[in-house]
Amino acid sequence: MEQLATLADLPERYLEHLEQSNLVPLWPSLRNVLPPIKPIPHTQSLVWKYSEIKPLLLEAGELTPIEKAERRVLVLANPGHGLENMRATSVIYLGMQLLLPNEWAPAHRHTPNAVRLIVEGEKAYTTVEGVKCPMEHGDLILTPSGLWHEHGHDGDQPVIWLDVLDLPLVYYMEASFVEGGESQPVKTVENKMSYSAGLVPVQHHIRAEQNYPMLRYPWKDAKQLLIDLSEKQSEGPIQVAYVNPETGEDCQKIIGYSVLMVRSGETVQLQPRSAAMVFHVIEGEAEIKIDGKIFGIDQADTACAPCFSNIDLINKSNRPCFIFIADEAPIQKKLGLYSVRARSE
Ligand code: GTQ
């Protein structure tokens, strides 16, 4: 491709006139906004070690009372986007949230979608539109756009979870805002619907849009399914997606969620794809190799990888490793931007 002229090739006087008229020449920036062959991501590959996060989060628990924080969260920020912008990728926000015994994070609702993946601790709960969802290690709890949610804690040890939100995208779209409120009355109906019979209510199935029939995905069920699949399927990656059981579609509209099981001794190679990805270890340990860079990931560690990277997940340990994955595929598919390529090594 032709090397294009730069700003330095234009006279000062001309550039000043452009600026006064709120005009910008395209050609000095054309190759930045339309780079050849593939995007130039701001997202850097990196790992956040839980062993570094946890003591700092517990210290936040001493430094800042919950009433002064509303949500006591340390954000996992990617330096490639500027730490102050609080992004893991251009679409994905990650935060580690701490709730101490008897604390309460009051009800609010906002336009970004959120999920919680429980990292440690017992007897906390998130109430979503009145439905009380217990938080146990590895559970996924949805708080979709516009639904009231609050967090409470009846246990006697700290509870920590990973928040995943589509905040960077929604904020960029100037669509991000919150409403606060009182505590929600808890509905007597708990989120107990099983769906394991393979049956869904017909009415919901027909007009399912906007409906979030399942708010809590218990880890014990997901893990059992992965183990059952791994016994049936001797080769190839074992991965399950969190879906809306009434439609079979992704459980949220912007970010996709799944869990990958990497067997003892196994290496899973992922195809480069247009969507950036986040990895969080629910159980076990592994290595993640992103475009040749190797990081060790232990339980509760979190990694992120930019678009179109070559990713290997390598389990050298003697037990399976279960890795929670968040990716940008649902929004990219809706916009017609999603693609998968052959490995480039
Ligand atoms: O728990 O509702 O990490 O509103 C960021 C924004 C958590 C929450 C975050 C939020 C929440």
For the chain, the domains span 46-334
Q: Does the domain formed by 46-334 have CATH 2.60.120.10? A: yes
Task: Characterize the bridge pairing of strands 46-48 and 277-283.
Answer: unpaired
Most distant CA atoms of the chain, gap in Å: 73
Calculate how far, in angstroms, residue 87's C-alpha sits from the geometric centre of ligand 1.
Answer: 14
**Residues 304/75/122/230 CA torsion (nearest 10 deg):** -10
Chain-centroid distance of CA 234 in Å reads 29
Quote the pLDDT of residue 196: 76
From the CA of 95, give the closest atom in ligand 1: 3
pLDDT in tens, 141-172: 999 999 999 999 999 999 999 999 999 999 99
Nearest CA to ligand 1 atom 10: 71
From the CA of 97, give the closest atom in ligand 1: 3
Calculate how far, in angstroms, residue 52's C-alpha sits from the geometric centre of ligand 1.
Answer: 21
Place of tokens 């009231």: 148
Give the number of other Cβ atoms within 10 Å of residue 115's Cβ: 24
From the CA of 93, give the closest atom in ligand 1: 3
Calculate how far, in angstroms, residue 71's C-alpha sits from the geometric centre of ligand 1.
Answer: 6
pLDDT at residue 71 tops 90 = yes
- For a pLDDT cut of 90, what percent of the chain falls above it? 86
Banded pLDDT at 339 (limits 50, 70, 90) = very high
Q: Quote the DSSP letter at residue 319.
A: S
- Give the residue-averaged pLDDT of 78-86: 98
Give yes or no for a contact between 108 and 180, defined as CB atoms under 8 angstroms apart. yes
pLDDT in tens, 31-57: 999 999 999 999 999 999 999 999 999
Quote the pLDDT of residue 79: 98
Quote the pLDDT of residue 253: 96
Best residue among 66, 72, 73, 278 to mutate for probing ligand 1's pocket (most ligand atoms within 8 Å of CB) is 73
Q: Rounded CA gap, 218 and 156, in Å? A: 22
Calculate how far, in angstroms, residue 163's C-alpha sits from the geometric centre of ligand 1.
Answer: 7
Q: Quote the DSSP letter at residue 271.
A: P
Helix/strand/coil (H, E, C) string of 72-131? CEEECCCHHHCHHHCCCCCCCEEEEEEECCCCEEEEEEECCCEEEEEEECCCEEEEECCE
pLDDT at residue 6 tops 70 = yes
pLDDT at residue 183 tops 80 = no
Q: Rounded CA gap, 278 and 314, in Å? A: 16
pLDDT at residue 188 tops 80 = no
Q: What are the residues whose beta carbons fall under 8 Å from the beta carbon of 267, sequence distance 6 or more?
A: 312, 313, 314, 315
Quote the pLDDT of residue 329: 98
Quote the pLDDT of residue 246: 85
What φ, ψ does residue 219 adopt, rounded to 5°?
-65, -35
Q: Residue 215's closest CA among 162, 122, 144, 154?
A: 144
Nearest CA to ligand 1 atom 6: 71
The pair of three-digit structure tokens given for residue 60, joined into one six-digit string? 């936040």
pLDDT in tens, 97-141: 999 999 999 999 999 999 999 999 999 999 998 889 999 999 999
Banded pLDDT at 207 (limits 50, 70, 90) = low
Calculate how far, in angstroms, residue 45's C-alpha sits from the geometric centre of ligand 1.
Answer: 24
Chain-centroid distance of CA 328 in Å reads 9
pLDDT at residue 208 tops 50 = no
pLDDT at residue 210 tops 60 = no
Quote the pLDDT of residue 212: 87
From the CA of 126, give the closest atom in ligand 1: 1
Banded pLDDT at 190 (limits 50, 70, 90) = low
Ligand 1 pocket (Cβ < 6 Å) reads 71, 73, 95, 97, 110, 114, 149, 163, 165
Give the number of other Cβ atoms within 10 Å of residue 210's Cβ: 9
Place of tokens 């920036």: 29
Calculate how far, in angstroms, residue 297's C-alpha sits from the geometric centre of ligand 1.
Answer: 25
Helix, strand, coil % (nearest 5) of the chain?
20, 30, 50
Quote the pLDDT of residue 201: 75
Work out the burial of residue 177: count CB atoms within 10 Å of its CB; fewer than 13 is exposed, 13-18 middle, 19 or more buried: exposed
pLDDT in tens, 269-316: 999 999 999 999 999 999 999 999 999 999 999 999 999 999 999 999
Best residue among 163, 171, 178, 278 to mutate for probing ligand 1's pocket (most ligand atoms within 8 Å of CB) is 163
Calculate how far, in angstroms, residue 220's C-alpha sits from the geometric centre of ligand 1.
Answer: 25
Banded pLDDT at 213 (limits 50, 70, 90) = confident
The pair of three-digit structure tokens given for residue 285, joined into one six-digit string? 């340990």
pLDDT at residue 251 tops 90 = yes
The pair of three-digit structure tokens given for residue 341, joined into one six-digit string? 């390529």
Banded pLDDT at 204 (limits 50, 70, 90) = low
Quote the pLDDT of residue 344: 82
Calculate how far, in angstroms, residue 167's C-alpha sits from the geometric centre of ligand 1.
Answer: 10
Q: Rounded CA gap, 297 and 283, in Å? A: 10
- Secondary structure element (H or E) that encloses residue 229, with its range: helix 219-232
